[in-house]
Structure 1
Amino acid sequence: MKIVKDIQLGDPSSNKQNFIDLNLKVLCCRYWILDLWDCHDMVFPYWRLYWNRNTGGELIHRDNIFEMDPDYLFIIPPFTSFSSRFTKNHVYSHGIHVNGKHVTANSNEDNYVDSSLIHLFIHFNLGVPFDNVYPGILKIELTDYLKERLDYLTTRLKIENTDFKLTFNLKLQAFIKEALTNIGPELWKAINIDERVLKVIRYIEININKKLSNSELASIINMAPNSFARLFKIEMNITLHSFIQNRKIAKACELFEHTNKTIEEVSFVLGFSDRFHFSRVFKSVIGLSPASYKEEKYI
C-alpha cells in the first residue's frame, strides 16, 4: 500500500484547485409587521435581502417600480440608491419614515395581512470585491428550497431574535448563499477583474484608516498613477477616488452600528482631516448626515 506523505491540506492529487473566498457577514435578520414604510433615496454600504409575506410593498430604483410579490425575494447590492413604500399606507414623499414591530410567537399574522406589511429583512456583507458589484434591484423567484428555509427562519425569528443557535446561523447563511446563486453572471464581474486592481483593493481594505493617494496605490503594482486610475475605472466601473470614499464610509457605518465611537472618533480613525470633511463625504455617499444615520434604524 502506498502512503502519501507531506501532502498539503491532506489532498493527494496534483491537480490544483482554485476556490473563491466569500466572507459572508450577517448584520441583522428580522421579521416585522410594518404599518408604514415610506423610505426615500436610501443608500447603504451593505446588501439587503427583502421578502414580504403579503402584497402591497414596492421598491423603486431610478424609474423602475418593483411590486413585491410574495413568490419572490428582492436583493439590493451595496450603494444602490432606492426607495420603498407600503402602498396601503403611503403618506410621505420625502425622507425616511418607518413604523412597525417584531412578529412574535403570540402574533397572529393572518390578522395583519390586509392592514400591514409582513416583512423579512436581512442585511449582510460579502467582503471585497463582492461588495462592489453593480447597483440595482434583483428579483429572485422562490424555489422549494428557499421556501422551506424561509418557513424555518421566520418561525424561529418569532421565537428568538437576539441570541441565535448554531443551527439557525448555518441555515440563515445557507439561505443567503442559495439566494445569491440565482443572480445572473453579469453581477459577479468583480471576481474576474484584473489582478493588479484586486491587489490594490486588498491594500485599501487593510489600510482603510490611512490617507491613500493615487500615486501611492499605483506604485504598489508599478504603474503610472494616470494609467492605473484608467484601469481601475474600466475594471470597477467607479473612479478610484470614489471607491476609496465608499469603502471609508462603509467602514464608518459599521463602526456606528457596532461600537460606541463618536462622529469625531470615527472621522479620526478613518483618516479624515476633521469632522466637517468626514460629514461632507458621508452625506455625499449615504445621503444622510452621520448624526442622522446614528440616530435612525432603517428597514
Structure 2
Amino acid sequence: MKFVNKIELGDPSSKKQNFIDVKLKMLCCRYWSLDLWDCHDMVFPFWRIYWNKNEGGELTLQDTVYKMDPNYLYIISPFTSFSTRYLKNHNYKSGIHVSGKHLSERHDGAYFENKSLIHFFTHFKLGTPFDNVFPGIFKIELTEHLKGRLVYLTERLKIENHDFKLTFNLKLQSFVKEVISNIGSELWKTINIDDRVLTVHRFIEANINKKLSNSELAAIVNMAPNSFARLFKEEMSITLHNFIQNRKIAKACEVFEHTNETIEGISFRLGFSDRYHFSRVFKAITGISPALYKSGKYT
C-alpha cells in the first residue's frame, strides 16, 4: 500500500477552492409553555430562532409589529433591539417579565395550548464575521421539511433538555444552518467588508480581554488612527469603540452561559475598571443587569 501525502486532502484537482468557515456554537435550545412574555427593548449579542406552535405572540422592532404565525420561523440577528409579548397576558410596559415552564412528555399538550403560548427558541453564535451583521428580524416560511425537523426537536426536548445525544446535536445544528441559509443575501454584507477591518475584527476577538486602543488597532493594518476609525465606521456601521464594547459584552454573556464565574471576575477578565463600570456598559447594551442575565430569567 502506498501512502499518498502530496495531494492536499486527497483532492486530485489542483484548482483551489475557497470556503467560508461558519463556526456555529449552540448556546441553548428549549421548548416552553409561556404564561407571560412581556420583554421590552431586549438586545443580546447572539442569534435567536423563535417559533410559536399557537397564535398570540408578538415581536416588535421599532415601529414594526410581527404577529407570530405558527407557519413561520422568526430569526433575530445579534444586537437587535426588540420587544415581545403574549396578547392573552400583557401587563408590563417596560422591563423583562417572563413566566412559564419547560414542557415535558408528562404535560397535556392540548391543555397548555389553550391557556399558554407554546414557544420554541434556540440561541447560537456563528463566529466572525457573521455575528456582526445588520440588526433585524427575519420571517422564514416553515416548509414541510423544516416542520419535520422542528417536530423532531420539540418532541426530543420534551424527553431530554440537558445532556443531548449526538443525533440531537447534529439535527439541531443542521436545522439552524438550513434556517439561516434562507434569510437572503441582503443580510450577509459583512462577509465582503474591507480586509483591513476584518483583520482588526479578528484581532479584537482574539484579544477581547485586553484594553484595546484605536491607535494600537490602526497600527495592525498600517493606518492612521483617525483614518482607520472612519473606515471601520463606514464598513461596520458602528464606531470602533462601540464595537469593542459590544464584543466584550458578547463574551461576558458567553461566560455567564457556560460557567459560574462571578460578575466581579468577568468584569476583571474583560478589562473593565471595576464591576460597576462593567454593569453600566452591560445594561446599556442588553437592557438588563448582569445579575438578571446570570439568573437566566429571560427568553
Give the TM-score band, short-chain normalised. over 0.9
What corresponds to 1:227 in structure 2?
227
Paired position in structure 1 for 2:82: 82
Deviation at 1:292, TM superposition (A): 2.7
The aligned amino acid for 2:237 is N
Listed as ranges, the matches of 1:146-185 within 5 Å are 146-185=146-185
Mapped partners of 2:96, 2:290: distance in 1: 15
Other-structure match for 1:241: 241
Q: Distance in 2 between matches of 1:39 and 1:87?
A: 12
CA distance in 1, matches of 2:270, 2:92: 35
What aligned pairs does 1:139-150 form with structure 2 within 5 A after superposition? 139-150=139-150
TM-score by length of 2: 0.97
- Residue 9 of structure 2 corresponds to 9
> Which residue in the other structure is 1:265 paired with?
265
1:215 aligned partner: 215
CA distance in 1, matches of 2:28, 2:256: 14
Q: Measure the CA separation in 2 of the matches of 1:203 and 1:161.
A: 35
Question: What amino acid is the match of 1:42?
Answer: M
Counterpart residue number, 1:206: 206
* CA–CA separation in structure 1 for the residues paired with 2:291 and 2:167: 37
Per-residue CA deviations over 1:90-123 (Å, capped at 9, x if unaligned) read: 1111111111111111222111222110000101
Are the counterparts in 1 of residues 26 and 123 from structure 2 also a CA contact under 8 Å?
A: yes
Between the aligned partners of 2:292 and 2:165, the Cα distance in structure 1 is 33
Contact 2:79 2:135 in 1 (8 A): yes
Aligned partner of 2:286 in structure 1 is 286
Q: In the TM superposition, what is the alpha-carbon distance from 1:5 to its structure 2 partner?
A: 5.4
TM-score, scaled relative to structure 1:
0.97
Q: Distance in 2 between matches of 1:100 and 1:292?
A: 17
Q: Indicate the SS of the match to 1:98.
A: strand
Q: Which moved more, 1:104-113 or 1:47-56?
A: 104-113
Aligned twin of 1:99:
99
SS in structure 2 of the partner of residue 122 of structure 1: strand
Give the counterpart letter for 2:23 in structure 1: N
- TM superposition shift of 1:132: 0.5
Kept in 1: contact 2:59–2:65 (CA 8 A):
yes
Please state how far the C-alpha of 1:12 moved relative to its aligned partner. Answer: 1.5
Q: Percent identity?
A: 71
- Given that residues 4 and 12 in structure 1 are in contact (C-alpha distance below 8 angstroms), is that contact kept between their aligned partners in structure 2? no
Residue identity in the other structure for 2:78: P
The corresponding residue for 1:30 is 30
Unmatched runs of 5 consecutive residues or more in structure 2: none
Shift of 1:297: 2.2
Distance 2:94 2:222 in 1: 47
Contact 1:74 1:138 in 2 (8 A): yes
| Amino acid aligned to 1:28 | C
How far apart are the structure 1 equivalents of 2:169 and 2:159? 15
**SS of 1:211 mapped into structure 2:** coil
For this pair of structures, how many residues does the alignment match? 297
Rounded to whole Å, the distance in 1 between the matches of 2:15 and 2:55 is 51
Residue of structure 2 in register with 1:18 after alignment: 18
CA contact (8 A) 1:36 1:86 kept: yes
Alpha carbon RMSD of aligned pairs, Å?
A: 1.2
TM-aligned CA deviation for residue 296 of structure 1: 4.1
Give the whole-Å Cα distance in 1 for the aligned partners of 2:15 and 2:231: 33
Deviation string for 1:132-162 (max 9, x for gaps)? Answer: 1111111000111101100110111111111
Partner Cα distance (1:210, 1:239) in 2 = 18
Give the Cα–Cα distance (whole angstroms) in 1 for the partners of residues 255 and 140 of structure 2: 31
